[in-house]
Amino acid sequence: MIPVEIARRQYRYFSAHTNSWPIEETFRFAGCFYGGVACVTDRISGKERLIDTSGVTLHEFTEFLSCSGFVDADNRAGRYSVLSDDLRSKFCILDRDLKLKPLPSANAVSNVYSLGNFVVVQFASGELEVLNWEHNKLINPVAIFGLRANRLGNWTVATSKSLDQWRYLDVNAGVLLGPVYDNAYPFENGLSIASHAMKWHIIDSAFRNLVTLEMDSLEPFSNGFAVGVTLEDEIGLLDRTGDFLPLSAYSTIEAVKRTGLTIANRDAMNWSIDIIRTNGEILASGMDTASFLDNDFPFFVATRNDRELYLDSDARPIELATI
C-alpha cells in the first residue's frame, strides 16, 4: 500500500492491487509498511502510533514523539524501531514484540539506527557503537568512526577519524578481518569492492583481488551492479565480472534497486530524471524528481511539471482511484 498525501497534512493509504483506499482513516502523516507495520501520526492528537495493514492500532506512543517504524538502515523491514523525543536527546528501541529496550548509555547520543539483529549508536564525538541485543553487549574491537553495513554481518568500518583506513568487521563474532584498505564496501553475494594504492579491486571473501580497475570512483555492489566513474569522467554501471557499461547521457546514477531498475539524472543543475534498466533502456523519462521507496509494497514516487506521479516497482504508472 502507498501512503498518499491527499491534501495538506492529510494522508491515506492506496492499494494498487485492489485499486482502492482500504484504510478509511486519514492521518496527519503516514509512513510505508515494513514487515506489515507502518508508523502514522494521528490527525487529531498528533501522537504517533503503529498500525497493521488493516489499520488496527498495535501500539501508541506517549513519551516518545518520533518513531522510525520497523525499517532498517537499508530501507527494508527490520527487527527494531527507533524511538526518540522531540529534541532527539533521548532514544529507545522497540522490538517486534512491542517491548521497549532502553539504550545502555544515552550520554551524548546523536543518532541511532537498526540493521538486522544489531543497533548502531552514534555519539556526538563521531564514534560509533554496535549493539547486539541478543547478547546485550557492545561489539567494538576497535574505535569506529565510519560504518557501512549490510544484513549479512560482514560490514566495513573506518578505524580513523579521517575515514581513510577501512577494515572488515564480522559483527556476529566481533572481530576485524582482512587488510587495511583506503576505501571498502560490504560484501554482496561473495564479492566486494575495495581500493588501495590508487587502484580499485573486486575482491572475494578471502580478500583476493579478482579484478583490478583504474577508476576515478566506485560505489558498492547493489543488486549485482556498482555505479562508477572512469578517469575520463564517464559514469556508468560495473557488473560483477568487471565489465563497465558507460551511460554518458547521465550526470548521476543511483544504486540499482532490487527490482533491477535505477534512477538516472541527465542534468544535475536542472534535473531531467529517467528510470532505466541496467542495460540503459529507459522505462520512464523527463521527471523533475524521483525516488524509490523500498518497503512491503515497493514503488517510485516522482514529479513532472509540479504533478506528483506514482509508479510501481517496474516503473509502470499507478492511477489513483477517486476517493
User: pLDDT per residue over 213-255, tens digit each?
Assistant: 999 999 999 999 999 999 999 999 999 999 999 999 999 999 9
The full 3-state SS of 91-117, as one line of letters, equals: EEEEECCCCEEECCCCCCEEEEEEECC
Q: What is the pLDDT of residue 280?
A: 97
Only one residue has cell 527490482, namely: 259
- Residue 16 phi/psi, 5-degree rounding, is -70, -25
Q: What is the spatial distance between Cα 252 and Cα 232, in angstroms, rounded to a whole number?
A: 15
CA–CA dist 48, 256 (Å, integer): 32
Distance separating alpha carbons of residues 6 and 12, to the nearest angstrom: 7
Instruction: Give the residue among 28, 79, 78, 76 at the shortest CA–CA distance from 49.
Output: 28
Cell 580513523 appears where?
A: 160
The pLDDT score that the predictor gives to residue 114 is 85
Instruction: At 69, list the grid cell.
Output: 517504524
> What does the pLDDT look like over 190-220, one tens digit per residue?
999 999 999 999 999 999 999 999 999 999 9
> Can you tell me the distance from the alpha carbon of 165 to that of 162, in angstroms, rounded to the nearest whole number?
8
Confidence (pLDDT) at 40: 96
Strand pairing partners for 288? none
Amino acid at 72: D
DSSP state of 188: B
**Does the pTM exceed 0.75?**
yes
> Own/partner pairs for 117-126, CB < 8 Å, 24+ apart?
117/79, 118/149, 118/171, 119/80, 119/82, 119/93, 120/73, 120/147, 120/149, 121/91, 126/161
**Helices assigned H by DSSP within 112-157:** none
Judge contact between 168 and 140, C-beta under 8 A: no
Residues of the chain short of pLDDT 70, as ranges, are 63-65, 86-89, 104-107, 133-139
C-alpha cell at 168: 572488515
pLDDT of residue 53: 97
Give the whole-angstrom CA distance, residue 220 versus residue 223: 10
